Structure 1
C-alpha cells in the first residue's frame, strides 16, 4: 500500500497517534474558545483569550532548548515517550483547573511536550522511511495534527449536552486518550536504525533496515548499501564532532550549507505561523461572529466539518509531495491562502447583511483549509527534518520550534485583539 511495507505502515500509525495527541492539545483551544461556559467560568475576553491560546508557545520555546538533547540521548522513541508523559501531566492540570493561573500553567506544559514531539517524530520518520517515499511518510506526521483536531472538535461538539463546567472539562480529560494510545503502541515499533548505529548497536540496526526496506532480507542490496552509508556518515560526523555546544555552533555557522539550512528553518518557522492558519484554527468563533454567526451549535458544527475537509485534502497533499516537489507546493499554497483571506476580508466588510454573504464567508473558511492543508500541513515540519543531516537533525528541529513558537505566540496573542478592535481589517 502506497509503495511502503506493512511494518512501515505500522510506524505511520504510531506517528499518526502521536501527532493526533499534539493536534488535540493545540486545537482544543478552538473548542474552548467557542464554549460559553468556559468563557464565563474564567472571565475570558479578547486579551485573555489570546494569551491562553498563545502561551503554549512559551512552553515550546523553553522545551526546544532541551528537546534535541533528549531525543539524541534517549532515542527517537524515548523522545516520543517523554512527550506523551508530559501530555498526561498537562491533562491533569487542564481538567482540574479552578483558576485561570492553573490553566495558563497547563497550556505552558502542553507547549513543552509539543516541542519534544516535533524534535522526535519527524526525525524518527525521516530516518526510518524508504528514500523514495520519504515525502509521503514524513508528511503524514503533521497531517495527523488534523486528526487530533477532528477528535477535539467532535468531543467539544458532543460535550455541549452537559451542564456547567463539564462542557469544557470533558474536552480536557479526553486529551489523555491519544497520548495513552501512543504510549501503548510504542512497544510495537523499533528504534531508529541511525540512532542505533550511533550507539554501536549495529546488529539491531541492520535487522530494522532489513525489516523495513528489504522484506526481512539482511543481504538485500538496498539494505546493505543503506547500512554502509549510514555507518560511514555517522563515523565521519563523530570524527568531526565538537565537545561543547559553543564549538558546535561555531562550526555550524562556518559552513555555508548549514547557514542556508538555518535560514530555511527560520523562515519556514515564521511563514508557517503567518500564512493565516492561526485565524481559522484558533479563532474561528471570532471570524464567524464578524459574519453574524454566533450560535454555539453552528460554530461547533462548522469547526468540526472544516477540520474534516482539511484532513481529507491533507491526505491528498502527502500523496503529491514526491511528485510535485516541496517548494512549488509551498509557494502555490501560500499564494492561494493570501487570495482566500483577501476575499474573506472583502466579504466580511461588505456582505454580512445577507444570508448569501454569510454563506460565502463560511465557504471561504473551507476554501482556505483546502489550500493550506494541501501544502503547508504536510510540509511545514517534514521539509525541515529532510534537509538536516543526522548529527544536527534533532537539535535543528528544536531550533525551528524556537522561531515557529516566537512568531506563533505573537500572532495567536494579537489576532483576537485585532479582530475585536479592527474587525474585518
Structure 2
C-alpha cells in the first residue's frame, strides 16, 4: 500500500471513531450517579435518550439515500462533521433533559451519516486485496474509541459533580473537528467522479491512490479506471438507478443479503449487552467502580478481537470470518444464559457464578467485536454496484439503527422483568442466522467491486486483463484532455 492511499484510508476509517466514542459515552455515563440525578432518570428515560440517539442515526442513514450521490462522499462527511459539532456542544452544555435529548438526536444524525458513508468511500478507494483489512481497520477504530471512552469514563468517575459527565460528552467534539479539518486534504471518490462525468479527475485520483501499489503492475490504475468506466456505462445505459433495487432480481438479492445480515447482526443482542453493561454488572452484585473497570476490559477485548479478524478477512475470506465469529458467539451466549440462570437460582448469593456470567459475556463479545464489525462495512459495500452502493449501504445502517431504537428502549425494562431469559432470544437468533449464512452468502474476497457483479449473475463489462488492452487509449484521451485545458487560457488571451 503506498503512502497516499494509506493516509486516505486512515482518514476514512477515522469516521468509525464517531460511533465508537458515542457508544462508549452512552455506557459510561450510566455509571455516574451525578448524571442520573441531574436529569432524574429512570428505566424509561434512560431508554428514551438511547432511542433519541439511534433515531437520529436512522435519519442520518436515510439522508445518505441522497447526499453521497448528489454532493459526493467527501462533502457528505463534511456535512456530518458540522452537525456533530453542534450536537456534541448541546449534550455537554445541556441544562435540562429535552436539550440533552435534542443534542443526542443531532449527534445521532451526524453519526448515521458518517458511519454509513465512510465504508462506501473506503471500498471505492481501496484495492481489492486490502478491502477486508480496511473494513477491519474501521472495526478496530470502533472498538478502540469504545475502549478509550470506557477507560476515560472510569478516570472521570473520580471527578466530583457534573464536570465528569460533561467533560466525557464534550470530548465528542474532538473527532468531529479533526475529521472536518483533515477532509480538505482528501480526494473525491474516483467512482463518484466517473458517475458525474469528471473522468480526468477520476483517473488522476486513481493514479495518486493506486499507482505503484505493491503487487500490481504500474498501469493497474489505468486498467481499473477503464473497468470502472465501462461497468458504469452499462449500468447507465440500462437505467439501473435506485429503482433497480426493486425491479432487478440480482439487485434485490444483494439488498436482501444486506438487510438480513443487519437484522440478525442486531438480534445477536450485542447492543443490549454493550450499552447496558453497567446495569447487568450491578444486577450481578458488582459495584459501580468495578462495573466501569469491566466496561473498559470489554472495550479492550474488542480491540484484540479486531486484530485477530484482520488476519483472517483477506487471507481466508469473508465466509470464514463469520464462521469464526459464531464459533465464539453461540457458545458464549449459551454460557451467559446458563450461568446467569444458575446465579439467580442461588438467590444471587454466589459471587463466583456472577463472575462466571461475565466470562460468558466476554467470550461472546470477543466473537462479535472484531469479526462482525469487520464483516459489516466490508461485505455490505462490496456486494452493491457503484450506482446504488451508497443507497444500499445506507439502507443497511438505517435498519441497524431502527432495530437498535427498539432494543435500547425495551432492554432496561426487559432485564428488570425477565433477566437472563431476554438473552435466550438472541442465542436462538444466532443459530438461525448461521444456517441462513451458510446457504445464501457468497465469497467476495480478492475481486474488484466491478467483478463482484458476476457472482450475482450480472453482466461484467470487462475483467482487469481485458481492460489492459485499453491502457494506451486511456492515456491518449487523458493527454488530449489535459492539452485542451492548457490551451484554453492561451485562446482567451
Superposition TM-score tier, normalisation by shorter sequence = over 0.9
Aligned to 1:18: 15
**Cα-to-partner distance string for 1:298-356 (whole Å, 9 max, x where unaligned):** 11111112101211221220231122222332244235313212211222222353332
Contact 1:275 1:338 in 2 (8 A): no
Q: Distance in 1 between matches of 2:313 and 2:391?
A: 25
Q: Structure 1 CA distance, aligned partners of 2:221 and 2:106?
A: 40
Q: Distance in 1 between matches of 2:106 and 2:235?
A: 34
The question of 1:362 aligning with 2:358 is answered yes
Runs ≥4 residues deviating over 4 A: 216-219
Aligned partners of 1:330 and 1:375 also within 8 Å: yes
Is 1:397 paired with 2:389? no
- Number of the residue aligned with 1:327: 319
- Cα distance, 1:47 vs structure 2: 1.6
The answer to whether the 8 Å contact 1:207/1:216 transfers is no
Determine the structure 1 residue equivalent to 2:114: 117
How far does residue 219 in structure 1 lie from its aligned partner after superposition? 8.9
**2:222 aligned residue:** 224
Deviations 1:207-259 (A, max 9, x none): 221222222899933111101011112222233337xxxx842x322211111
- Where do residues 21-420 of structure 1 align in structure 2 (5 Å cutoff)? 21-215=18-212, 220-241=218-239, 248-249=242-243, 251-293=244-286, 295-334=287-326, 336-351=328-343, 352-420=348-416
- Post-superposition Cα deviations, 1:105-125, rounded to whole Å, max 9, x if no partner, equal 122112211221133200111
Q: Across the two proteins, how many residue pairs are aligned to each other?
A: 416
Q: Which residue of 1 aligns with 2:435?
A: none
Residues 112 and 397 of structure 2 are in contact (CA less than 8 Å); yes or no, is this contact kept in structure 1?
Answer: yes
Instruction: Confirm or deny: 8 A CA contact 2:282 2:288 kept in the other structure.
Output: no
Query: What are the superposed Cα offsets for residues 356-410 of structure 1, whole Å, 9 maximum, x if unpaired?
Result: 2222222223212211124211112321111001100111112112221221111
- Aligned pair in 2 of structure 1 residues 424, 219: CA closer, same or farther (>3 Å)? closer
Helix, strand or coil: the match of 1:161?
coil
Structure 1 residue 15 displacement after superposition: 2.4
Q: Answer whether contact 1:275 1:334 (CA < 8 A) is retained.
A: no
**Unaligned 5+ runs, structure 1:** none
Separation in structure 2 between the aligned mates of residue 13 and residue 154 of structure 1, nearest angstrom: 23
Indicate the SS of the match to 1:323: coil
Q: Distance in 2 between matches of 1:297 and 1:15?
A: 35
Q: Distance in 2 between matches of 1:273 and 1:385?
A: 18
Q: Which structure: larger Rg?
A: 2
